[in-house]
Structure 1
């Protein structure tokens, strides 16, 4: 799978060295003050502090929105990390000034009835922007904005530019509504982990970024290859990638091309179909930029870890209509676990073409290859928790080879100011091969209190999925009431194959392991299944602005799911299974904003999951599992909008869980029920210039409330009653130590049930991390230390238990232009 990896790795390092030879940017300028003054036809904006006339100022236009970007500049306002005004002038509805990555500042001006124009004039005290809104047609996006006269003969250059996120402040997300919606207008808890947090924490396994979010517990995936989650008490084996479904065993993500991570708490079936009721994680990928951007990074750390990566982006045409982005990374690592190692390769090109000022097409592709040891961790038993965390209970030759190919297009056309069509198609293919010595589960787990029985497995698996989404977004009014209506449908087919072979194998002494038993060559085939799942969904959602401070979100989705399975085990004979399920999933929520920075909300939502392969005594497929959530909360923007907080309380009830039929144990009935109740707090933003924070706390009470076989009251697996996190960084803003920064964090996870019934609890732990870094205009050096106290801790896989990393040091060097 990894032929030529050494060449690629050397090539990526070479790119980093080549970048170092390019000229550095000019000295940074800082915008220290913003003054605005309404005028008869618009607005005057004075940006205090800009004195360098070599700064490049660029513009782009969309509909009634003017975007101005200033390169080689930082926004350093005493009142916070961003500047925002609603209705600052009679014909302007919004003004927003915010920092971007790569030392840039973006100014967004939204006209009420027409496109704003800008005249730029350098002045002694800063930079003056005269914004005017006039009825004539909008200028060509590729045409530079006019520049005003000045006593300084050097006018500032204006060209078309792009966008890139920066900082911890996030105000909008797409996961909750399928449109860019302010978080404060969403009647449901949604948390966003921005790119800056991923970089500051030097996240290598993308799942670790979710430790910053309340109510989310890491659920180690398939042999340590994937990462899933327990959210609000319920396991989630499905993720989203840019709004498209990625099923659990094949959902492998890499930080290289992830821009941010959005976590929607509670049922999400109203927009995404069959899902667990706890919530969904949506990985948002990086998109092409209008400005040239080149970045190379080399990272190395404990356990022979090294990773070169690149991120290139920019225009391919002079007018910026065709743009690209290319991310690539190669990773090679050992482990604190004996005989465990792995290699990973990812590359992800993206192209965006502005067909016109109303029409845009984006095409992307992603390849990932994984070649690593398949590690099953430990059994859920106290004797295993007493073992050294390095102890490996498989064979040194155990392996897992995985490849994925993902392609997608996104087409968007704006018919007019009120109607937009969004159409997207995704195709994904996965192939995997597993060979390993697998623990054999028996009563008591061990033979003679020391030997773990095993069998050897040989598994081939793969899947292909095709997904089409089409949304029509309409904005209109009924009297004084404003509507944003999303009408859409989704079609999806997934075809998967799974061949499972096994044979008896030698037990292993867990206290004094001996490896090297010859690998078997003959196996019994236990499973040989081909499965096709078709899903059709139709959904409708209306975000209604009843008043300026009162918003109603109402929606629903009908889903129709068909499963066809063929079992080929019995001598090539075919056993066919055909099952159907359907459900309606509603959501209703209300947001009240008594004052501008505060939102009080309440919502009701439902989810569903088919109970395929679960039959009642008459042979009828059990009705789908249903989840019902009631949630109330309050969202607040503190410190002038630079810090945001969400406090939420909820109750989720999951019903129709299969449980044995007391009158016929060979069948099931829908008598099982589980509940989860909790309170969550999330805080993120900038306390003062250069001082960032992301923190969380969750209290979760998740338990079995009804069942015919399991003890009622048993805690659900991998759900701590209490969990919390705190991460903060500070970067010196001026003086001779400008750019020097440091930070640290604590991650607390309370005691969790390892199984049901609750025979073992996974111990609570506190993990401490730290970082120190030095950032200049076009390079950054950073050292991160994870698990400073070398705490012993474990994560759950749902059954198996995985030791967490001990003290680990990671260093990185990044060049960006």
Structure 2
């Protein structure tokens, strides 16, 4: 495999530009890569400052390419076990390269599109004459891992059609694996906080609300399959770990074609990592303020000699305290997937995605902003409004399996089934932040306590076929599919009578609730089935028309019991097409 240094500051369109195939010495070496072409780079004949310390030749060439803003592909065997001298001063690119390559038996020549080609000298020191060099276009694919890119070549969240961001007729942002790693984006809330157009509201220590275009963003997909999850206002979702995902695709605006019965806010598609045909892996550890520690392991590769069966395992453990008094949390993550090529055109896969998040000293609500006389409160940044015995635990397990069938006419059929079970349990005890407000004169404040439990189960099936077809002498694209989901939600909240405590001497010590006399119990069953289709019609090379429709049958039934005295049946049935 050849290597090339990529400059992340270059225009995104150049990341999609080229893969270089260079035949050296009668076609013995094939170098394939994805170099950048610089639309506005300075001429390579212009002198510029370089500062490259003496090092092995590979590292020196990569550092030089970065400073020179050039593409420099090469065969790693050419530079193996070779050293380069230090380079400091002003040179043009050709001079700088020749100085670095002194004594290595190598030279470099500028080729087409500003790509510099590295090759050996002949035995008498003369430059070898290259045979014809071909440059072949190769764009980024959907997978972002290993691309070193902050963008992706294609996305299908909006229409299920594999379109580039430029071709997608909606506002789409992709947070890639590289960006998540570089910026330390470890949770869904952190990812969405870095997504343009998304507002993240942090309600308390556990709960987050996400908004897009003024509406609650609560449509989530996993690998493109719409799947129920914890609501954004319960603990668990916003803190979901990102170690297992290749990228997050966020569509802003109505997504009725692919998600439920549609929402004016948008949809979030979390795309999991997949097994690789070559072995790769990493182990990492980190530590930080307030005794926060994290370990992470990711292993992927073939499970058989020919690579027909592949597997991947990701595991992570994180724990730590916080700047908030008496608050701590720990998280366990496990992801495993196996993938098998049943034939040249058929691939089956199955996996599990497990996450557990436990928090102690967790709050439910915020500290009061005002005293009862209307003046502002002045609590310390570290003050925790929760009792020391408060906790919030959540657990999420997803099982999934699917099959992909490819046909000779470039059509693809994919079927995936999944089962998700999530539960969360909370013991709450918190100073009331929304009134009645604390008394400034007496130092008295209201304290509430209680318990909450959620249990959610969802079974989902998604099947679709997509591919090109010919009409009126031109090639167009079509996707048709169905998805079915069957879910159940059980919710129970029990509250104790409110108490009065001394907030001025608050040490997070308050009586645990024992008499839970007030409660709310909800049970819901939700069934949804839908058929959808999207057509990308191309009347000319420069014009595409995308048409789509979705027909949904949605049924939600349940009961709500308050104070164990009243049961209110609810029914919400709808059947309507969406465009």
Give the TM-score, by structure 1 length: 0.52
Which residue number corresponds to residue 369 of structure 2? Answer: 381
Structure 2: how far apart are the matches of 1:580 and 1:81? 58
Pair 516,212 (structure 1): closer, same or farther in 2 beyond 3 Å: closer
Match of 1:518 among 511, 516, 539: 511
What do residues 629-648 of structure 1 show as CA deviations (whole Å, max 9, x unaligned)? xxxxxxxxxxxxxxxxxxxx
1:339 is aligned to 326
Match of 2:45 in 1: none
Structure 2 residue aligned with 1:391 = 383
Structure whose alpha-carbon radius of gyration is higher: 2
Which of 559-568 and 545-554 deviates more?
559-568
Kindly indicate whether the alpha-carbon contact (under 8 Å) linking 1:46 and 1:129 is maintained by their aligned counterparts in 2. no
- 139, 145, 148: which one aligns with 1:166: 148
Q: 1:430 is matched with which residue?
A: 422
User: What residue number does 1:188 align with?
Assistant: 170
How far does the alpha carbon of each residue in 1:427-466 deviate from its partner, in whole angstroms, 9 at most, with x for none? Answer: 1001221101145576553356754322211122111011
Pick from 235, 238, 241 the counterpart of residue 222 of structure 2.
Answer: 241
Distance 1:45 1:518, change over 3 A: closer
1:534 aligns with 2:522: no
What is the rounded CA distance, in whole Å, between the counterparts of 2:489 and 2:176 in structure 1? 33
Residue 304 in structure 1 maps to residue 291 in structure 2: yes
The 2-side partners of 1:548 and 1:82 are apart by 33
1:459 paired residue number: 452
CA change 1:550–1:54 in 2 (3 A) is: closer
Does 2:355 align with 1:368? yes
CA-to-aligned-CA distance 1:145-181 (integer Å, 9 cap, x gap): xxxxxxxxxxxxxxxxx97433224231121222321
> Deviation digits for residues 395-435 of structure 1, max 9, x if unmatched?
01110111111111121112332432111111100122110
* Alignment partner, residue 211 of structure 2: 230
How far apart in 1 are the matches of 2:382 and 2:275? 42
Q: Structure 1 residues 49, 506: closer, same or farther in 2, change over 3 A?
A: farther
Of 396, 409, 412, the match for 1:420: 412
Q: In the alignment, which residue of structure 2 is the partner of 1:197?
A: 179
Deviations along 1:480-507, one digit per CA (max 9) or x if unpaired, are 3432111111111110101111112433
User: Deviation at 1:308?
Assistant: 0.5
3-state DSSP class of the match of 2:290? coil
Alignment-derived partner of residue 150 in structure 1: none
Q: 4+ runs of 1 displaced by more than 6 Å?
A: 53-58, 71-75, 77-83, 125-133
1:44–1:128 Cα contact (<8 Å) kept: no
1:580 — aligned with what? 573
| Closer, same or farther: CA 481–220 of 1 in aligned 2, 3 Å | farther
Structure number with greater CO (CA < 8 Å, separation at least 6) is: 1
For the pair 1:445 / 2:437, whether they are aligned, the reply is yes
Cα distance 1:127–1:369, how it changes in 2: closer, same or farther (>3 A)? farther
Query: What 5-or-longer segments of structure 1 have no aligned partner?
Result: 1-25, 33-42, 59-70, 84-120, 134-161, 587-817
SS of aligned partner of 1:173: coil
CA distance in 1, matches of 2:302, 2:146: 14
Aligned match of 2:190 in 208, 230, 237?
Answer: 208
**2:309 is matched with which residue: 322, 326, 342?**
322
**Whole-angstrom CA distance in 1 between matches of 2:221 and 2:211:** 15
SS of 1:196's partner is helix
> Is the Cα contact below 8 Å between 1:365 and 1:405 reproduced in 2?
yes
Q: In 1, distance between residues paired with 2:129 and 2:261? A: 54
- Listed as ranges, the matches of 1:478-497 within 5 Å are 478-497=471-490
Residue 496 to residue 182, structure 1, CA distance change in 2 (3 Å): same
Q: Offset of 1:332 from its aligned partner? A: 0.5
Number of residue pairs matched by the alignment: 471
Q: Identify the match of residue 281 of structure 1 among 256, 263, 268.
A: 268
Give secondary structure in 2 for the equivalent of 1:391. coil
Q: Is the 8 A contact 1:337 1:392 kept in 2?
A: yes
* Structure with greater strand percent: 1
Alpha-carbon distance, 1:379 to partner: 5.0
Please report the TM-score for the alignment, with normalisation by the length of structure 2: 0.73
Deviates more, 1:203-212 or 1:193-202: 203-212
- The CA distance in 2 between the partners of 1:496 and 1:246, in whole Å, is 10
RMSD over equivalenced CA pairs, Å: 3.8
CA distance in structure 2 between the partners assigned to 1:574 and 1:377 by the alignment: 28
